[in-house]
Structure formats: C-alpha cells, structure tokens
Amino acid sequence: MSKNNPELGREVNEYLDLKGINTPVTNLVAEDREVKIEKIADLTKQMLEVLGLDLRDDSLEETPMRVAKMYVDEIFSGLRYDTFPKCTTVENKFCNGDEFVLEKDITMYSDCEHHLRPIIGKAHIAYIPGEKVLGLSKLNRITQYFAQRPQVQERLTQQIAEAIAFITESDDVMVIVEAAHTCVSQRGIKDTNSSTSTACCLGKFGDHNSVLRREVIGSI
C-alpha cells in the first residue's frame, strides 16, 4: 500500500499557491524521473570536470549519477506532488475546547535555496483539533516533505503550518522551527554557534498574549 497521496499533495500545494507561500517552481517539476536523473547527472559531471576533478577515477566516476538520484529521489523529492504523504485522520474524541496536541523535537533536514547547503534542526508543532485528529507520525512526514526542497526557513515554517491547517481543517496551528544553517557555518561568516528560530502562529496561537501560545512555548 502506497504511503503517498498524490491527490492530497496537489490540493495542499494549490492551497499554498493561493496563500502565496509555495516554493517557486516551473512546469519542469513534473518532468519524468528518469529524464531528470539523466539531465542532472550530465550537468553534475560537467560541473565536476570544470572544477578539475578526474572522473575517470573509480572513486569519482559514479558521483554524477549518485548526486542526480539523491537530488530527485531524496533531498529534493518534496518538490513533487506525488511524494506527499498519506495523511490519515480520525474522529476527534479526545480534545475539547482549547486542548491542543503538541509534538516537539521533530528531526528536520533541509537545504538552503541560496547556496544548497544543509539546514539542520528540529520542528515543534501544536494544533487544536476540530473534528479531525491527525496521526502523530503524519506531523513528522509533513515536516519532512516540505523540508525536502530548496528552502528558506521562514517559508518552510509557514508551509508546514498552513498544510496542517488545511488537512486537519483547524484554524489553530503553531509551528516553531529551530535550525542551524551550514551556509553560515561552512562559508561566509563561518559562525558555528548561531542558530535561527522561526514561528508561524495561526488562529488562537496568533495572539501574542494568548495563554495557549505561552503554554506551548513553555512546553518546548
């Protein structure tokens, strides 16, 4: 049984388009997987040769194909709608009023869209269920899906929050992402100690004086 839901992926991404927070893509995002891999492998080969690497060496000769498959099938697979996770919901029999669900310390790996260097961190997600409760692992999978794109952290945080709001039909969602950017630590300023925190607070969590908001932040 497939763990993906292409139709939901299309609906969620169209919703993010309407919100103006989707990742900017062209029609090539839907190009055939094999075609993409061949093109990326060829371009990677050219880049490595321009850098002066000898791709006849047995350690390097398969690198272009490895990189191409990694980009298409793994670290940038969230660009495709058909990789969106199947998101099982159940009837809400447990949370009433302002009771919320909080999942924290969700492992997150992404890549900065400015330099294609890793973003490594964690996400914390809270929402107040309405009629639907989302399976806990789906919060991890939604985070992973949007992280597997070239990203800026601010947009990534918004995409996760709005996608969960759309799927659960809840107006009240809060997402906090804390991450270190290797485009900062590995190049440029080379600051290895800094990290970045971003938040998207919807509905009842959007009130800066909200007891709910403070309760979530205090639980992280």
Query: Hey, which residues are catalytic here?
Result: 112-115, 153, 181, 183
Cα angle 162-168-173, degrees, rounded to a multiple of 5: 50
Among 56, 81, 101, smallest CA distance to 4 is for 81
H-run or E-run covering 156: helix 153-168
Residues in the chain: 220
User: In a 10 Å sphere around its CB, with 0-12 CB exposed, 13-18 middle and 19+ buried, how is residue 209 labelled?
Assistant: exposed
Residues 15, 154, 202, CA angle at the centre, nearest 5°?
55
DSSP string, 61-77: TTHHHHHHHHIIIIITG
